[in-house]
Structure 1
Amino acid sequence: MASKRYTVMVIPNQGSGARRFAISRRAVAAAVLLALSLLGTSAYLFADRVTLERNLARLEPLMERVQVQRTVLDRMNERMRQMDQSLVRLRKLEEQLRVMASLKPAERKSDLGVGGVTRPGLLDEVEKLPEAEKLVVGRLGRQFLDMERRATEQEVGFKEVFEAFREKRVMLAHTPSILPAKGWVTSTFGSRLSAFTGGREFHAGVDIVARVNTPILAPGDGVVITSGRESGYGNIVEIRHMQGIITRYAHNHRNLVRVGQKVRRGDVIAEVGNTGRTTGPHLHYEVRLNGVAVNPMLYILEEVAFRK
């Protein structure tokens, strides 16, 4: 049985005659179905675009919040780095103070009690976070616990040093713990190349470059035992402190103390000069312990500027 067909007539305004087209029922049904499919697809794509735009609008504040959190974490990391450096400086200071107080090096214990979140509690909370945040928070947690442990150890160490200082106040007042002149340390203690011969030589102190007439200060309490001139050293001052410590100051422009005079830390004892065997104005500073030259920097507590 032949399928039903529809006839479509196209009649132009003018010119040739009318045209007829025969279209089967199936073709009409297929065209309608295609149109409905296109309409449905367009409606779905429009709804999906609207949903996507809404989600993007919600996501924008979240991205801003993430950026703020990232900035905060970066600042926290920088702050923790600075705190870590401060703890390192405090440990070095404690080591110097222990040398001055004749204490043994501190024994660092890893089982000292610390506060903060316990490990099981911390792990339970971290496990609830997304993987990326879990890594960041876990790392920060470990850093905080480590810094708290080190800070507790440092507190214990300083308490021990403080007790030793309280018992040895007089001795510590006689310890040469400050740099005697403001300037730059250009030659350190130990082996060096001689500026005169070019060969290796032992340097028994440190050289501090400064302008002529720069004040030279007593680095600790003591009694002047030498104030005069010596071959090679030029104008020289020597101070006897306690426990066999003697300090020497050479190449002075002029000496301002006399033998037998008692001095206190910070008193002006001479002026930087260029006397004796030198290549320019500077202070040659020595510390001798029971007659043996030792590194003066072992006793210095302040920050020192070095220049080659």
Structure 2
Amino acid sequence: MAKKISLIILSNSGTTVKQLAIPVVLLTALALVTALGVALVGIAFHDYQSLRNSLGTSNHIAQTIEEQREEIGQQRLQIQAFAHEINALKEKLVELDQFEEKIRVIANLAPGQTDGNLFGVGGAAPEDLEPQLELTQRHEGLMREMHQQVDELASASQRQENSFGNLLDKLEGQRNLLASTPAIRPTGGWMTSRFGHRVSPFTGRKELHKGVDIANRKGTAILATANGIVSFAGKKGPMGNVVVIDHGHGMITRYAHLSEALKKQGDTVKRGDIIAQMGNSGRSTGPHLHYEVHLNGVPVNPVTYILN
């Protein structure tokens, strides 16, 4: 027989109103259901809290992923910009190489060290990079090409630098040669005797006149016709007072019949410097300058070297 628990319901006066008999099993079941309900509520609350925390973590992860995605997008845009710059640098390097060759042609110089091989054997420039990739595509291939072309540009720029250095040396040499080549009239006046064979006014015999005579008033300024160093300044027999300038490259000029030399041996002169005054020292028929140009020890016609 099932056990029961009696419940007595009392009135306000304390008298018994009603007595109930509740089975113990029912009370036990009720207690279990209540406990189970409380447990389920606790589990639900815990799941809610966990879900809420997970949702916050998910939002943080989503935000982090979005920030990383934006950063990757910016990096890829920078990669594309660098690719454009590499293409532009390569184009400028090719233009410089072509410009150098033009200068060499104009200056009548031999081809440069690159000689059409700026980028090594074959000489052709690498094909332009293709930076316009979708941001969703992988950029590893573009990065490899960029590294390769940067190395090629470094080598090409070194070759170009060496070639420009060689060009500068050649142009400097030509500039020095031009500065050391007689190119102007040594003085103002009238040319009274030219270069070549003539009858000497002193001997009456035909002889080689090694220079030209330019007549003017005594004291007229005599100019150096090119850069050089005074190798002689003083009296020299029938030529009277003489100044000789060594211009290098086998070239010398001689200025004779001077009234006075204004430079001494060892002085450095530049084209246009006043080196003496016109006179009629030595064997002379009147104030004039006797001007000679010698190339490798051989007298040549000075008129060839008068460009003004």
TM, length-normalised to structure 2: 0.44
TM, length-normalised to structure 1: 0.44
Task: Report which structure shows greater RCO (CA 8 Å, sep ≥6).
Answer: 1
